[in-house]
Structure 1
Amino acid sequence: MNYLDLYQPLLSFLASDTRFEHWAKKLPTDITEGLSETRFGDLAQWRDSFLKLPNLKAKTTVFDSEFLIDADIAQTEKDRITQALRELIPWRKGPFSVFGTHINTEWRSDWKWDRVKPFIDDLTGRHVLDVGCGNGYHCWRMYGAGARRVIGIDPSPRFVMQFYSLKKFIGDAPVDVLPIGIEHLPANLGCFDTTFSMGVFYHRRSPMDHLRELKETLRPGGQLVLETLVIEGKLGEVLVPEGRYAKMNNVWFLPSAPTMLSWLTKCGFKNPRLVEMNITSLAEQRTTDWMLYHSLNDFLDPVDKTKTAEGHPAPIRATFIAEAP
């Protein structure tokens, strides 16, 4: 399988647009490295699961209110699809309805989208970047909200194969997920109307560098939508876990909301504002039959659910919006 075949429509689009053409020249190399079966030993297995899927197209597609694809197909085909998709477990972002099969993902990502969507600029006709998009669930919802083209980036090959296993049934929609991290984007790209970074910020070793990278993806006046873990506190307060946070070993900075706003201003964003904040519930993140491993309940103190297993404040997520200068 030539993985570049998945990206030919995207590569053609980028090469034809003067805003993106310099990126198009380096992207095939990045894709090849990001989907290297030598580098990622399990990728061949996920590829084989993808290849097991039948060649058919959905007759019904819904992306604005949910992710649903459907068609009148035989039960044997439905079973074949379900089995292939189950081979790609764990499914973390979702949920998805695929020819009658409900992929009950770890995260109720639709709840996050419902919280965020009222506060963002209208996506109609926009070029949108979703940083750390996972399997692309929110990319489809952004497309359903009117985006002209959505590009997600995530360095996990499993998530990329999950995305294309679903896109196979949809056809040439202007939605793609690239197997790269934000550090692989060209400096000062300056092409996107809206950039999302949801659930990524606290995994970055250098918060200021991440904010700078995000700003460089946006055209002047473009909008940043940043969702991240925060703590309750005043300006200047930030939690830097010495060890793990909620059993994650890659959590670096959890600022208070006022601190996050200050960082956005310091990095040159205009009109930064906090638009919503919520405590992550056990109903929103949990183990399911499509994500069989430990989840939020296992990451919290078994007696006091207001604390993580390490004694830190339990996860609070907040969404910030700002514009590029």
Structure 2
Amino acid sequence: MWLLELIVPVLWNYYIATKVVLQQLLGRSFHLPVLSQQDGKVAIITGGAKGIGYYTAKHLARLGMHVIIAGNNETDGNEAVTRIQQDTLNEKVEFLFCDLASMKSIRNCVQNFKAKNLDLHVLVNNAGVMLVPEGRTEDGFEEHFGTNYLGHFLLTNLLLDTLRKSGTNDLNARVVTVSSATHFRGQVNFDDLQSSSCYSAHGAYAQSKLALVLFTYYLQHLLTVEGSHVTCNAVDPGVVNTDLYKNLSYPGKVVKWMTGWLLLKSAEEGAATSIYACVSPDLEGIGGCYLYNGKRIDSSEVSYNLELQKKLWTESCKMAALPVSS
């Protein structure tokens, strides 16, 4: 009986996640509306050198924003900066080194950013790894959890003071965090957050994406309570044809190669909802949403559990060596 009680929720999560992914594969792409110029605003995009992050950075630069690409590959980052500058004729595009798998690097990045004395109107938590072999970050955290989730948790918290100062009653600062439909099958295992006892790349990735949604909702809760002019929303880009699939098994790679061009969104299409969440007037002052194809939809049932959100927040503060807020 106990085995059945353990297996049924897992199978149900797999069913929901598979259903959502199939709906996304067969659904239509979201086309961005015309957005107003964003001159004078500043944005940081993690992982902005490639894929969804690159097209997010490029579109925001085209709208006139001062765009900072934060990434762990200086060559790729500077090449992306040059391309975006040339394509958008916006010189206010730059690169900052930030390795999300290193808390020291994240703290150095934030220090370097703050030395510029800039405002910060938009933070896009976009970078991530997917289905990587079992490994640990510089600080000893499981790679999906440490990079996708905990790295962004620390980065966001260190930038909150600047976001708070930059947001106004009429024009809130925004935190946009990229999750995934995979979060529907995710579970946060507080007894083994680092997936040490039984590692599954799929399970670890799903846990990191669920953690990002829980983090988004709880941060919005805290900001609302304190009356800050900052909003936080989570974005589901859909199933997108990017380099993240490089760690698929060989059969999976063959299927992707054969069908990806037909079923998967392009990186530019995948960036559309992130861009929408960054600047759309429809979302002014609105946070705590899960967005897909430019619309607010329900995330997984467990993601709305306030006690779970709070517990994860508390544990994350401890791991990131931050004061615990409640």
TM over 0.5: no
Larger Rg: 1
Q: TM-score, normalised by structure 2?
A: 0.41
Point out the structure with the larger strand share. Answer: 1
